[in-house]
Chain A
């Protein structure tokens, strides 16, 4: 080889309610996904996952990108941007195909045709005002029964369900425009819950099934996987800010003080020993004050429990329920709260899976925190897309085959 092969850099940018996080990873043959740097900045122009102050967000994204670029000493181009907010919705479509072969066996062409039919018949919710983020293939059915691949099953009708994740077109375009203004190439808008699943779940966990909950400051995303693919995903406009707000209103605290107390003393399940105990703290003016510890914990528990219950009800309405062998894994800033896994486990009646990042290389130690799961997932998604484009051996390393179907290009 005359010239050394050029290195590729995958970038994931999460524009969150409390912080903006940029992860740059190197994609090479030697090391398929090596995180080089992380840049962060405080986010002040986002509420509940929706950008309301574009100027402030541009400045903050610029600062985070500059931070990451200077640490990695590289210049980034293609990026994958996280999309979140209450506008994210999902729906199913179904494609049916009559098998043409004489012996009734399912061929690859049949599968493609069934998938095409599913794509051609989108759900009625898909309109001009929405933008499709992901179309996720679900396990196909043969004559109404779950098809078990590899058995050369025979039948007459192949049904291919397709799961669509979409959102409001204007709100999805908002972060994309911001990145374009910064001369970046935001090629892949990805739902944050989807990115968190990529970052946290390995193939075995995806197959067994489980729930990923990203407890952010303004929003909470969740994705339920089973049989190797995402079966249901959603986003709630509730998050850690609501917990802080509840504490501030309930205990008559300033919001900053409530935020600090939540970060350092927060607990998802009430401690019986905390009854009648006082939680001392210092106000910004330097005064010593205290609040009832049991009330503090009660307010947190009620809010967090409610968030989990809403997710559980949403899943139940979609006909999904976590089994005992399935697990629930938490990420995002809210996942650092004490006893939150136990609370999630008790609400969902499922195993609490410990937080663990999937196949990580590079500056791992500083990244093994729940709040970095989504930007890492975004960078990984970007790496996967870049590898596919080049067609090199990397294409299969992080293949999202099974996890996602053919995605509509939104750029």
Chain B
């Protein structure tokens, strides 16, 4: 007989210490607005905090805690769309950030990636949280294409960084909403619908962990599915709900999902490697419904790994059945077989993702440029393959790779020779001080 160490037993007094707690953290202007909207229908066990440098934006935050960052440097203003400034602020206030996120089991990190603070600080927070052992679900908002190439480039860089650090990274492009919206839809309506879906998703995810139901889902399972390996990539989510308890509601949910803008009319579901479906409803969700739904997914995407979760939380007041679907792209390389090529493959997957968006983007018809020809999926795949640059070399001439990697820029001053033609000897920049190149540290 093994005696259980009394110190390890969970006594009624320390049950709370083992309870799940989560922080919904909105970073930057967009993140702050979303979290502020989420906090209006607060869930039990969730805490809402907004982090921003802009005092004006923080002043509009209601129902949740607002924290100003970078006060000394930015004096209450924004970062001026500079990721570098944001990153340096995050580095400076690392300890405070660590303190902010420490002690939580789960962190929902929500940020818009087009600006400066969200894209610069959120990946640093994700990294710190991961170091602290907090499970990080990052939801990033990709800017509209009409907002400019700079924003898209910044967002791509932030997305890459976030993917490295977050356990589960969900990217939600605004452009997809715009493509599926009415012609007369304005920004407020688009943002509201986006906020509503994110709110439903966060609530659904949280309730699945906090109030496990008949098909339990825990953080460990999620971590093992999404959070390991260097081949992590960006997922997406979709939320749908069907009222009542009619038998046809699964059909209705399925149709809604297939038409969902963030799933690109089901194409991301069909190409997904992992599909996580969470059902939240008060009652009436049967085993037959789960099987029917699983069959639907399997018929659309036979190779996908399907995970189903279902919970019936008492605080879920609505009588509707809600589904939160998270799809994750397929990891094209098996880790065991080609461990060395993981990075390359990751880039390829990420590359495909954006390129596909570019190809699917509707172009306005013009007099001079004919509309793009209709392509089948296999033709799209062929085109993408032909455009992937060979590993270690330059890509096709003239092709602008939006996911091109950025080298770590370590600026070494060469003082008065900054404006001169650089002098090299055996590939060494000999204008750089010798002591510096030889690694001497002058304390």
Give the interface of A toward B (CB within 8 A): 47-48, 50, 86, 236-238, 241-242, 244-246, 248-251, 255, 292, 295, 298-299, 302-303, 306, 310
Contact = CB atoms under 8 A, between A and B. Distances in A.
A299 B440 CA distance: 9
A48 B430 CA distance: 13
Given A47-B420, A86-B423, A306-B430, A245 B414 contact: yes
Contacts of A299: 433-435, 442
A249 B413 contact: yes
A302 B414 contact: no
13 contacts: A48-B420, A86-B423, A241-B416, A242-B430, A245-B416, A245-B417, A245-B431, A249-B433, A250-B433, A299-B442, A302-B438, A303-B434, A306-B430
Nearest to B442: A295
Interface of B: 413-417, 420-421, 423, 425, 430-431, 433-436, 438, 440, 442
Contacts of A295: 442
A249 B423 CA distance: 18
* Interface SS of B by simple majority: loop
A248 B438 contact: no
A255 B416 contact: yes
Contact of A250 (B416, B421, B435): B435
Given A251-B442, A302-B440, A238 B423 contact: yes
Contacts of A47: 417, 420
A242 B431 contact: yes
Contacts of B435: 246, 250, 298-299, 302-303
A245 B432 CA distance: 9
Contacts, number: 61
B420 A245 contact: no
A372 to B, nearest CB: 25
Contacts of B413: 249
B420 A246 contact: no
Main secondary structure of the interface of A (DSSP, over half): helix
Given A48-B423, A238-B423, A249 B430 contact: no
A249 B436 CA distance: 10
Contacts of B423: 48, 86, 236-238
Contacts of B436: 249-250
Contacts of A255: 415-416
Contacts of A292: 442
A306 B414 CA distance: 16
A249 B425 contact: no
A302 B434 CA distance: 6
A353 B81 CA distance: 62
B420 to A, nearest CB: 5
Task: Name which of B423, B425, B435 has the most chain A CB atoms within 10 A of its CB.
Answer: B435
A299 B441 CA distance: 11
B77 to A, nearest CB: 31
B414 A238 contact: no
B435 to A, nearest CB: 5
B442 A250 contact: yes
A237 B413 CA distance: 18
B441 to A, nearest CB: 10
A282 to B, nearest CB: 22
Contacts of A86: 423
Nearest to A314: B425
B442 A246 contact: no
A48 B442 CA distance: 27
A245 B414 CA distance: 8
B425 A298 contact: no
B370 to A, nearest CB: 47
Given A47-B420, A295-B442, A302-B438, A238 B430 contact: yes
Nearest to A303: B434
A291 B331 CA distance: 57
Contacts of A241: 416-417
Contact of A298 (B415, B421, B430, B440): B440
A47 B415 CA distance: 13
Nearest to A295: B442
Given A47-B420, A249-B415, A295-B442, A310 B425 contact: yes
Nearest to B416: A245
B238 to A, nearest CB: 55
A241 to B, nearest CB: 7
Contacts of A302: 434-435, 438, 440
A380 B284 CA distance: 107
A306 B434 contact: yes
Contacts of A238: 423, 430
A246 B421 contact: no
Given A245-B431, A255-B416, 14 more contacts: A47-B420, A236-B425, A237-B423, A238-B423, A238-B430, A242-B430, A242-B431, A244-B416, A245-B433, A246-B434, A249-B415, A295-B442, A303-B434, A310-B430
A299 B434 CA distance: 7
A303 B417 CA distance: 15
Closest CB pairs A-B (n = 9): A246-B433, A302-B434, A237-B423, A245-B415, A303-B434, A306-B434, A295-B442, A47-B420, A249-B415
**Residue from B434, B438, B442 having most chain A Cβ neighbours under 10 A:** B434
A238 B425 CA distance: 10
A250 B438 CA distance: 13
A295 B433 CA distance: 13
Contacts of A242: 417, 430-431
Contact of A48 (B415, B421, B434, B438): B421
A244 B431 CA distance: 11
Contacts of A245: 414-417, 431, 433
A298 B440 CA distance: 10
A126 B211 CA distance: 82
A346 B438 CA distance: 20
A292 B440 CA distance: 14
B427 to A, nearest CB: 13
A99 B77 CA distance: 87
B304 to A, nearest CB: 57
Contacts of A50: 421
A238 to B, nearest CB: 6
B421 to A, nearest CB: 7
A255 B433 CA distance: 14
Contacts of B425: 236, 310
Contacts of B431: 242, 245
A47 B419 CA distance: 10
B379 to A, nearest CB: 49
A264 B416 CA distance: 21
